[in-house]
Amino acid sequence: MGEKLTRDVLKGFLEAFNEHDLDAIMGYFADDCVFYMPRGAKPRGDRFTGKTEVRAGLAKRFEGIPDVHYGDDRHWVGDGFGVSEWTLTGTSTSGQRIEVRGVDLLEFDDGGKITRKDSFWKIVE
């Protein structure tokens, strides 16, 4: 593996999200990456493939929840995978306050880049 996968790498990835820095975020992804959103038209969530689509999908997240923030985070790493647990907070453009507990399941290639990001949210009712 290129860059050693550590909890600090996962924390840096999450911090790039908190800074809403799409360039920094995309630097963590492999060219042939896949991102599954926590919501969508299918049970797996909306799927974005390749850096161009993933970037557009993430931009939609920032547009829909302009003050989105990930906190109260914990991270685990294994052989080519990582797990990040967090609480997402923010306000949608319609004014709805959001606070959900969630997790990202992440797979990495041998160069240390994310090949799959699969996001899950607890649904508050």
Position 2 in a domain: no
Which domain does 117 fall in, by range? 7-121
- Mean pLDDT of all residues in 110-123: 94
pLDDT digits (tens, 9 = 90+) for 64-114: 999 999 999 999 999 999 999 999 999 999 999 999 999 999 999 999 999
- Residue 114 belongs to domain with CATH number: 3.10.450.50
How many distinct structural domains can be found in the chain? 1
pLDDT digits (tens, 9 = 90+) for 6-32: 999 999 999 999 999 999 999 999 999
Residue 13's contacts (CB-CB under 8 Å, 6 or more residues apart) are: 25, 28, 84, 114
Position 15 in a domain: yes
Position 93 in a domain: yes
Cα–Cα distance between 10 and 7 in angstroms, integer? 5
| Dihedral sign computed on CA atoms, order 123, 29, 33, 3 | negative
> According to the model, what pLDDT value does residue 1 have?
40
Position 44 in a domain: yes
Residue 92's contacts (CB-CB under 8 Å, 6 or more residues apart) are: 64, 65, 98
Q: What is the pTM of this model?
A: 0.91
The one-character DSSP state at 120 is E
- Residue 102 exposure: Cα atoms within 13 Å on the Cβ side: 22
> According to the model, what pLDDT value does residue 2 have?
52
Position 1 in a domain: no
> According to the model, what pLDDT value does residue 43 have?
87
Which residue, among 90, 95, 104, 96, has the nearest Cα to 25 in the 3D structure?
104
Position 77 in a domain: yes
